[in-house]
Amino acid sequence: MKKDWRLIPAGQYPVLMPLEPTSYFWKKERIYRDAERFYHKDALHGEVEVYDKRGRHIGVMTPEGDWHPKKQAVKGRKITI
């Protein structure tokens, strides 16, 4: 049976576990970071939104850490850090 990632806390997502949590939130979800990117859980779909170091959306990952096969960057989507 496939996991319903929407019900699992972001801190338990395999892709987010090794990342550094920040003090910032996006729609009640903590923002995580590595050296070059920011990440946060999309609670509606159970996916991970990925942004570059300037906050520009660059794509969507699965909770396991693979790039989403159908979803790509959304032009104009940004986060403010």
Q: Which pLDDT belongs to residue 3?
A: 86
The model's pLDDT over 42-71, given as tens digits with 9 standing for 90+, comes to 999 999 999 999 999 999 999 999 999 999
| Residues ≥6 apart with Cβ < 8 Å to 32 | 10, 16, 19, 20, 21, 22, 38, 39, 40
Comparing CA positions, the residue from 43, 49, 45, 52 lying closest to residue 61 is: 49
Report whether 17 contacts 27 (CB < 8 A): no
Q: For the whole model, what pTM was predicted?
A: 0.92
| Every domain of the chain and the residues it spans | 5-61
The answer to whether residue 78 scores a pLDDT higher than 80 is: yes
Q: Which pLDDT belongs to residue 1?
A: 66
The answer to whether residue 81 scores a pLDDT higher than 90 is: no
The answer to whether residue 75 scores a pLDDT higher than 70 is: yes
